[in-house]
Structure 1
Amino acid sequence: MTQSKIFEGVFPAITTPFNQDGSVDHAFLRDHARWMMREGSRGMVPLGSLGEGNTLEESEKIAILETLVDALGDAPVVPGIGSLSTQGAVRLARVAQELGCQGLMVLPPYVYTSDWREMKLHMAAVISATDLPVILYNNPIAYRTDFLTAHILELVDEHANVRAVKESSSDVRRVTALAAALPSHVELMVGVDDLLLEGVVAGATGWIAGLVNAYPAESVRLFNLARAGRLDEASDLYRWFLPLLRLDTGIKFVQLIKQVQEETGHGSARVRAPRLALTPAEFSEVRGIIQQASASQPAPV
């Protein structure tokens, strides 16, 4: 990866597929990642929130990275680095580099939430564990730790390998504040699907996307239109896509997106406990959204 805009483009937050017995389905994982790459994705981001990283054992995480690095060749695998402990996160970051991953997305620790002093030391330890380029992941809704713009700038100033921020607060004001404050070598990445167009207009150069797992061609086209400033075309596609993109924003976003994958023939809806399958009412609602989208889907370009 070059030093300029190394995280530009669409990076699927790839879901973790499970076999019927609950084990990871590595054969499907490999094929799914390659399909999304053929449709124009730039690289893969496994082991994040959508990837159910907090339900995976360390050995499973390592095996997933081995599969994806082998499957993607030179394309970047950028795993989410999350753990209950700082020690565990540091260990996973180092293993990821050894396996050939080309970047890291660093999360706050699972479960424990505290003040900036403790969070900064955790993040610094993981960032410093390797020399790989790092995406800082801010998702206060999921992790209850909110990295404010001032916090992010501290980490950027002290660690040269911090090269991007995935902003998932769902606050477009935060996106514009970061776009104005970040130095030129640090990229801004959209982290929630239904703020893609707003984020790119504000200055984002990358998208860590969710519905791309079922709709990669449409996701890549939307991003490229937005980046090219073709906003009339992008807005038309965005309006069609938004009912699906909004599935990325609720508590059950993993179940919803995996259900979309199954309904469109691109995966299984299986999730790992404590998540459960959708209720009949939830299933009916998401199927209705998919059917409506299918009935009005724009023609491929």
Structure 2
Amino acid sequence: MKVNWRGVFPAVTTQFNADESLNVESTQRNMQRLIDDGVNGFIMLGTVGENCSLRPEEKLTILRAAKEVAGGKVPILSGVAEFTTAQAADYAKAAEKVGIDGLMVLPGMVYNSDARETVQHFRTVARASGLPIMIYNNPMVYRVDLKTESLAQLAGEKTIVALKDSSEDVRRLNDVHNILGDRFVLFAGVDDLVIESVLLGAVGWVSGLTNAFPKESVRMMELALAGRYEEALPIYRWLMPSLHLDTFPKLVQYIKLAEQIVGRGSEMVRSPRLVLEGEERARVTKIIEEAVRNRPDLDKLPSVA
């Protein structure tokens, strides 16, 4: 299906069994619930989906399973997070054959490429398939920063459609607009900066905590996109302690624990990640349990007709 680059696209967690094997049924079950809760699309195999912890055949298994659930109701994008440009291009081709709807492309993993190398990587992957692409820029985590000047060099690549900015510097959205106009659709990539990002031109949100609080996330984003910021603000402030969890190195463990607490999945992760314990586990649990206790009644909050 054609991707409507707008709204809430949760970065779906990949569910595992106790032995770290894929739990496809649980992953699909979570996806179906997210569809029922009104999300606008899926990002499979992103950071939260533990892309780099899966074998190539497992990634395609997840994509096929996702396609079964989505059934053309919402678009499916896959993260592309490979070690080399050639591997990323091969994966883009394989994902296209599965029949998903788009890609979210990361820089090459492990090696910290410079500006020229980074542009070449994205350009090569963009030309490897016919799928539309969202570039994922997250210099805080991946140590590669696609700045606006480099993004401008990719403006001629027709399949590159959108930018997910996770730089934690929302001023960049202004820079992209001032230099490139509306060439790229802008997506918020940091959960606790989503309203600020919408104010500066983002029309989509790739979200981690939406996995735990989907209805509230969708309502908040709908209000923000309608320019009704004052009405979105109470939801944002309630959700903010949880949204902060998206900015830590252990965001995968934090988000999966949140899912488990609200009854939407398992905290099981794949090594070298380990489930949380001790004070860290208690701290995250307290944040999520307080959010559940104080959860707003959406029936009493404004809606967008």
Give the partner amino acid of 1:223: M
Equivalent residue number for residue 138 of structure 2: 139
Equivalent residue number for residue 72 of structure 1: 70
Q: Secondary structure at the match of 1:251?
A: coil
Give the partner amino acid of 1:66: R
Aligned residues: 298
- For residue 168 of structure 2, the aligned residue among 158, 170, 174 is 170
| Deviation readout 1:190-242 (Å, 9 max, x if unpaired) | 00100010000111010000001111101101100100111111111100000
Tell me if structure 1 keeps the 8 A contact 2:261–2:289.
Answer: no
Shift in CA distance, 185/116, structure 1 to aligned 2, threshold 3 Å: closer
Counterparts of 1:180 and 1:268 in 2: how far apart (Å)? 43
Displacement of 1:179 in angstroms is 3.5
Listed as ranges, the matches of 1:95-110 within 5 Å are 95-110=94-109
RMSD: 1.2
- For residue 20 of structure 1, the aligned residue among 15, 18, 21 is 18
Give the partner amino acid of 1:290: I
* TM-score using structure 1 length: 0.96
Give the partner amino acid of 2:129: T
Counterparts of 1:20 and 1:263 in 2: how far apart (Å)? 17
Tell me if structure 2 keeps the 8 A contact 1:14–1:33.
Answer: yes
Equivalent residue number for residue 267 of structure 2: 269
Task: Mark the runs of 5 or more structure 2 residues left unpaired by the alignment.
Answer: 300-305
Displacement of 1:274 in angstroms is 1.2
- For residue 239 of structure 2, the aligned residue among 238, 241, 255 is 241
Equivalent residue number for residue 154 of structure 1: 153
**Runs in 1 of length 4+ with deviation above 3 angstroms?**
179-183
| Deviation readout 1:10-65 (Å, 9 max, x if unpaired) | 10100111011111110011111111111111111011111111111111101100
Counterparts of 1:228 and 1:76 in 2: how far apart (Å)? 22
* TM-score using structure 2 length: 0.95
Displacement of 1:114 in angstroms is 2.2
Task: Mark the runs of 5 or more structure 1 residues left unpaired by the alignment.
Answer: none
| Deviation readout 1:52-111 (Å, 9 max, x if unpaired) | 111111111011001001111112110001101111111110111111111111110110
Q: Secondary structure at the match of 2:195?
A: helix
Equivalent residue number for residue 215 of structure 1: 213
Tell me if structure 2 keeps the 8 A contact 1:53–1:82.
Answer: yes
Counterparts of 1:236 and 1:273 in 2: how far apart (Å)? 38
Displacement of 1:181 in angstroms is 3.2
Give the partner amino acid of 1:46: M
Tell me if structure 2 keeps the 8 A contact 1:136–1:165.
Answer: yes
Counterparts of 1:6 and 1:267 in 2: how far apart (Å)? 27
Q: Secondary structure at the match of 1:79?
A: strand
Give the partner amino acid of 2:127: S
Give the partner amino acid of 1:113: N
Identity within the alignment, %: 41
Counterparts of 1:53 and 1:125 in 2: how far apart (Å)? 20
Counterparts of 1:179 and 1:246 in 2: how far apart (Å)? 26
Listed as ranges, the matches of 1:32-111 within 5 Å are 32-74=30-72, 75-111=74-110
Tell me if structure 2 keeps the 8 A contact 1:179–1:188.
Answer: no
Counterparts of 2:293 and 2:29 in 1: how far apart (Å)? 27
Q: Secondary structure at the match of 1:242?
A: helix
Equivalent residue number for residue 120 of structure 1: 119
Give the partner amino acid of 2:113: S
Counterparts of 1:65 and 1:291 in 2: how far apart (Å)? 32
Counterparts of 2:108 and 2:183 in 1: how far apart (Å)? 26
Displacement of 1:185 in angstroms is 4.4
Counterparts of 1:19 and 1:223 in 2: how far apart (Å)? 33
